Amino acid sequence: MNARLAVLTLALLCAGVAHSQTANLPGGTVLESSVETSTDLVLFPRSTAGKIQARACAACSAKLLQLDDSTKFNLAGQQVTLAQMSAYCSGVSGKSLTIHYRLSDSIVSLVSVLQK
């Protein structure tokens, strides 16, 4: 019984410390969001003037996100072009893909596939 009390006391102390450390942080502003999906659920435009279509799941509605000339495409740690990313994604199935975009205007900052 003493071991349970010690564990409970330690857990409560840890929770108190964690709360006190985060309670004094200034409020932040969320600038970006992301869509985590797979290569099967993304359609790329032909140019960075277009919009990428992404669904988080097969039954989910598509989210349209605007690309621009500053959008980065990262394929397994290598920066690639939109055409290279599109070609790779259309030729593979089930690879995890993440799209980061600004909340203010839905412009994509980064499209990333972690591994080839």
Residues 36-86: pLDDT tens digits?
Answer: 999 999 999 999 999 999 999 989 999 999 999 999 999 999 999 999 999
Band of residue 13 on the pLDDT scale cut at 50, 70, 90: very low
- Taking a C-beta distance cutoff of 8 angstroms, is the pair 108, 45 a contact? no
Which pLDDT band holds residue 27 (cuts at 50, 70, 90)? confident
pTM for this prediction: 0.74
Average pLDDT over residues 14-18: 46
The three-state (H, E, C) secondary structure of the chain, written as one string? CHHHHHHHHHHHHHHHHHHHHHHCCCCCCCCEEEEEEEHHHEECCCCCCCEEEECCCCCCCCEEEECCCCCEEEECCEEECHHHHHHHHHHCCCCEEEEEEECCCCEEEEEEECCC
